[in-house]
């Protein structure tokens, strides 16, 4: 179930159903407002517009990339798509998409277990214990 609240924690919509697999969903904010919903199996299953009491199908760039995570980068103008454990995608690649979901390119980084900070810094872990770290400051600015 989902429900929108304002900054004072007053409900702005009634409760509404979301696609679910019986487990807690994972959500990420979208450029311009709203959220994308990922099921526990890694599939992106819905998008919910800001203050909308319902959902729509996820955009193709998300639906075709299960077991990926994304972050908003480039001062809110793009998405960085990152492969998660169990993904068939290369763990050292970050795919970039503009706010409309158009592919903009791919960045390849040494290591795996990539994460992206809000400032565009890319962080990678590697080694048998995952404790070797590398980062590229502002790589996705």
Mean pLDDT (whole number) for 95-108: 91
Q: Using pLDDT thresholds of 50, 70 and 90, give the confidence band for residue 37.
A: very high
Helix (H) or strand (E) holding 60: helix 60-63
CATH class of 66-141: mainly beta
Record the tokens describing residue 110, joined without a space. Answer: 């040494």
Q: What pLDDT does residue 133 have?
A: 60
Domain residue limits, the chain:
1-58, 66-141
This prediction's pTM: 0.84
Which residue has tokens 């770290």?
Answer: 133
Mean pLDDT (whole number) for 95-103: 93
Q: What pLDDT does residue 1 have?
A: 85
Mean pLDDT (whole number) for 31-44: 93
Q: What pLDDT does residue 134 have?
A: 65
The yes-or-no verdict on residue 22 having pLDDT over 80 is: no
Spatial distance between the Cα atoms of 107 and 141, rounded to a whole number of angstroms: 13
pLDDT digits (tens, 9 = 90+) for 61-82: 999 999 999 999 888 899 999 8
Spatial distance between the Cα atoms of 76 and 15, rounded to a whole number of angstroms: 29
The yes-or-no verdict on residue 132 having pLDDT over 70 is: no
E strands, the chain, are 26-29, 35-38, 44-48, 68-73, 78-83, 93-98, 103-108, 112-116, 122-126, 132-136
The yes-or-no verdict on residue 21 having pLDDT over 80 is: no
Spatial distance between the Cα atoms of 112 and 117, rounded to a whole number of angstroms: 15
């Amino acid at each position: 179930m989902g429900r929108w609240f304002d900054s004072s924690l007053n409900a702005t919509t009634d409760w509404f159903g979301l696609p679910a697999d019986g487990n807690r969903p994972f959500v990420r904010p979208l450029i311009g407002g709203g959220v994308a919903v990922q099921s526990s199996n890694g599939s992106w299953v819905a998008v919910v517009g800001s203050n909308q009491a319902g959902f729509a199908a996820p955009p193709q760039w998300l639906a075709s990339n299960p077991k990926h995570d994304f972050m908003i980068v480039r001062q809110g103008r793009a998405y960085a798509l990152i492969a998660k454990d169990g993904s068939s995608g290369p763990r050292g690649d970050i795919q970039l998409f503009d706010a409309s979901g158009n592919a903009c390119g791919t960045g390849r980084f040494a290591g795996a277990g990539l994460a992206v900070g809000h400032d565009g810094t890319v962080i990678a872990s590697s080694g048998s214990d995952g404790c070797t770290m590398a980062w590229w400051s502002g790589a996705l600015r």
